[in-house]
Amino acid sequence: MKYIVLIEIYIVYLSRAQVFGDCLDEWTSYAGSCYALVDAPETWAGAAEICERFGGYLVEITSSDENDFVKRFVKARGNANVWTGGSDLLSAGHWRWLYSRDIITYFEWASGEPEMVSTDRCIQLWSEKAFSWDDTPCDDENAFVCETGTDGPDIVG
């Protein structure tokens, strides 16, 4: 319950934020996108829903440069595992981004990953492995990064 209240407060804050530069206050701009870290633990589906509620989506990392940025961004704000928008929920072993539905073509798996265990279906940035990618159960609770375009989220409220 405590986390739900914190998330609600965070969403209200983001929805009332001022626009500075290319992104809303509390969002960080990089290469045409805006990023926000939510450090209240949530399941993968719950994290995706929260990102959608304020006009974004779970981060979709499509290049080495973006991956390096997201790793620095997350590391500067804490040392917890973080959800991305990647999963193989539609077809085991076929990794896709949730928002765009694109097949994932860039990966930075940790050594020995993906394990392809039947319960490990969602991609997290694994703090213990320098934020390399890890397939893990979607019901785990992690912090998460939301992404949106630099025109900002379409927030109603």
| Contact (CB, 8 A) for 133 and 126 | yes
Q: How many residues does the chain have?
A: 157
Q: Kindly report the CATH number that applies to the domain delimited by 2-149.
A: 3.10.100.10
Mean pLDDT of 121-149: 97
- The SS3 of residue 37 is strand
Share of the chain above pLDDT 70, in %: 82
pLDDT digit string (tens) for 7-58?
A: 554 444 444 443 445 798 889 999 999 999 999 999 999 999 999 998 999 9
Token pair recorded at residue 92: 């085991």
Q: How far apart are CA 44 and CA 143, in angstroms?
A: 9
